[in-house]
Amino acid sequence: MTEYTVEFVGTGEEITVADTDTILSRCLEEGIAQEYSCRVGMCLACSARIVEGEVTQPAARGLTDEEREEYALTCMARPASDLKLDRGEYPPSIEAEPAVGDADGSVAADD
C-alpha cells in the first residue's frame, strides 16, 4: 500500500489517501465537504478536474474516455501519484444530458 497527498487547489485542504482508498472516502473520514450523490461513478456530482497527478478509476462510467484523463470522480478514483484537484470544475458531459421535457432538452411552458 502506498499513500499519496491529495491537495484541493484554492481551499488549503490536503489529505493523505492510500492507493487502496477512494478520494471521497478519505474526504468523508477527514470531514472535508466533498460533494457526492450516487457513489457509483454515474452522477458526476463528485467530479474534480485533475490539475496535477494521476488516478486510477476503471469504474468511472459517467466519464467519457477523454474526460477520464482530465477529471476524477472522487467516489471511484484512487490516487496513483500525489494529486492536485480542483473541485470547482466539472466535465463537459455533465451538461450533455437533456433536461426533463422534450427530446431536445426544451421544457414546454404551461399555457
For residue 93, the model assigns a pLDDT of: 82
Pairing between strand 83-86 and 13-18?
A: unpaired
β partners of residue 55: 79
Domain contains 32? yes
Closest Cα to residue 82, out of 50, 57, 58, 59?
50
Residue 46 lies in a domain: yes
Question: Can you give the residue range of the structural domain that contains 53?
Answer: 3-91
What was the pLDDT predicted at 92? 87
21 Ramachandran zone, left/alpha/beta (phi>0; psi -120 to 50): beta
Q: What is the dihedral of CA 50, 17, 28, 91, to 10 degrees?
A: 10
Position 95 scores a pLDDT of 73
Intervals of the chain under pLDDT 70: 96-111
**How many distinct structural domains can be found in the chain?**
1
Examine residue 104 and state whether it is found in any structural domain, yes or no.
no
For the domain that residue 70 is a member of, what is the CATH number?
A: 3.10.20.30
Asked, for residue 108, whether it belongs to a domain, the answer is no
